[in-house]
Amino acid sequence: MLTGKEPAQAIKDEVAERITKLGKRVGLATVLVGDDPASEVYVRMKHKAAAKVGMYTYDHHIPGDTPQGEVEDLVRNLNADPAVDGILVQLPLPDGLNPDTVIDIIDPGKDADGLHPYSLGLIMLERSGGAVPATPQGIMKMLDFYDIETEGKLAVVIGRSRLVGRPMGMLLNHKAANSTVVYAHSRTKDLESITAMADILIVAAGRPGLVTVNGVKPGAVVVDVGINRVDDQLVGDVDFDSIAEVASAITPVPGGVGPMTIASLLLNTVALAETRAEAG
Ligand code: GUN
């Protein structure tokens, strides 16, 4: 089983060391708009993890009916605040707010989540220097930690979101990974026959039970990015128990990808702080 705890701890240990070596305060600002309970939990977990590695956090929790212009002004203020090395705007934003224009305003040099078009553009070009979206970055680090070969493998990614699916496919497509990537999504025909070809199957659709054992090749590696609340329990997008019988490796939910996302956010933030410190 591909649990996130150990690889996430390895990253967090590295982050703590790098913060000590940097010798200055490293600050992460979070922006949470509204009171979505899941988002509140995620942001709280990020703050807790940041504190544990010695990172300072600045918590901006603002009402769900905050006008677009005020949310954007908050991001501008954080861009200008020298104590802030990384900015994270928790998604989704409440209905009525446009996430694109909010994220566009984040200084790419403070883009802790790697969601700015500039950061994503660097990824498309396989160029270094920008932050990599936390969840796909965490998944790549997890595959690496568990010595899972990506070279020449058929990777099927279900989902094409800015947060996960689209950058995930790009990272697997990079020469550093050399997978052959297929993007599947809600309009894909005969999804099961496509996922059944995958050596590496990444599922980020947010639909519990989307992938059953019939859609998994024996020996495949299955990474479940879904976090769904069903009957008061957290479940992923795949039928864990039956797939675990045939897959060579599978991530649990919770305790799989989630901890890697948080660790990668901290890693991005310390890297941004180092770059800012070098620039003076
Ligand atoms: N919402 C769900 N996951 C994430 C994430 O990794 N980053 C942000 N900003 N919002 C999210």
Q: Give yes or no for residue 261 CB within 6 A of ligand 1.
A: yes
Q: Give yes or no for residue 150 CB within 6 A of ligand 1.
A: no
In this prediction, residue 71 carries a pLDDT of 98
Q: Give the Å distance between the CA of 108 and the centre of ligand 1.
A: 17
Residue 65: is its pLDDT beyond 90?
yes
Counting from 1 in the atom list of ligand 1, the atom nearest the Cα of 89 is: 9
Q: Where in the chain is the domain with CATH 3.40.50.10860?
A: 21-109
In this prediction, residue 230 carries a pLDDT of 94
> Is 9 marked active-site?
no
Averaged pLDDT of the chain:
98
In this prediction, residue 275 carries a pLDDT of 97
Rounded to an integer, the average pLDDT of 257-280 is 97
Cα 82–chain centre separation: 25
User: Are the CB atoms for 207 and 164 separated by under 8 Å?
Assistant: no
Q: Give the Å distance between the CA of 133 and the centre of ligand 1.
A: 9
| pLDDT 10s digits, 156-209 | 999 999 999 999 999 999 999 999 999 999 999 999 999 999 999 999 999 999
Q: 117: Cβ–Cβ under 8 A, 6 or more apart, which residues?
A: 103, 104
Residue of 90, 102, 137 to test ligand 1 pocket, by largest number of atoms within 8 Å of CB: 90
User: Are the CB atoms for 90 and 43 separated by under 8 Å?
Assistant: yes
Q: Where in the chain is the domain with CATH 3.40.50.720?
A: 134-258
Check 12, 85, 111, 113 and give the catalytic one: 113
Q: Give the Å distance between the CA of 150 and the centre of ligand 1.
A: 25
Q: Give the Å distance between the CA of 193 and the centre of ligand 1.
A: 30
Please state, in angstroms and rounded to a whole number, the distance separating the CA atoms of residues 46 and 8.
Answer: 13
> Is 137 marked active-site?
no
Which residue's entry shows tokens 């305003």?
Answer: 105
Alpha carbons within 13 angstroms on the beta-carbon side of residue 158 total 33
> Which CATH fold topology does 21-109 show?
Rossmann fold (3.40.50)
Counting from 1 in the atom list of ligand 1, the atom nearest the Cα of 92 is: 1
Q: Give the Å distance between the CA of 246 and the centre of ligand 1.
A: 31
Q: How far is CA 273 from CA 63, 116, 166, 222, in A?
A: 29, 17, 26, 34
In this prediction, residue 115 carries a pLDDT of 98
In this prediction, residue 193 carries a pLDDT of 98
> Three-class SS of residue 26?
coil
> Is 46 marked active-site?
yes
Residue 280: is its pLDDT beyond 90?
no
In this prediction, residue 101 carries a pLDDT of 97
Please give the CATH number for the structural domain made up of 134-258: 3.40.50.720
| pLDDT 10s digits, 237-253 | 999 999 999 999 999 99
Please state, in angstroms and rounded to a whole number, the distance separating the CA atoms of residues 182 and 199.
Answer: 11
Q: Is 69 exposed, middle or buried (0-12, 13-18, 19+ CB in 10 A)?
A: exposed
Rounded to an integer, the average pLDDT of 259-279 is 97
Give the residue whose CA is nearest to atom 9 of ligand 1. 90
| pLDDT 10s digits, 104-147 | 999 999 999 999 999 999 999 999 999 999 999 999 999 999 99
List of E strands, 72-187: 86-89, 154-158, 180-184
Rounded to an integer, the average pLDDT of 223-238 is 96
Counting from 1 in the atom list of ligand 1, the atom nearest the Cα of 133 is: 6
Give the residue whose CA is nearest to atom 7 of ligand 1. 90
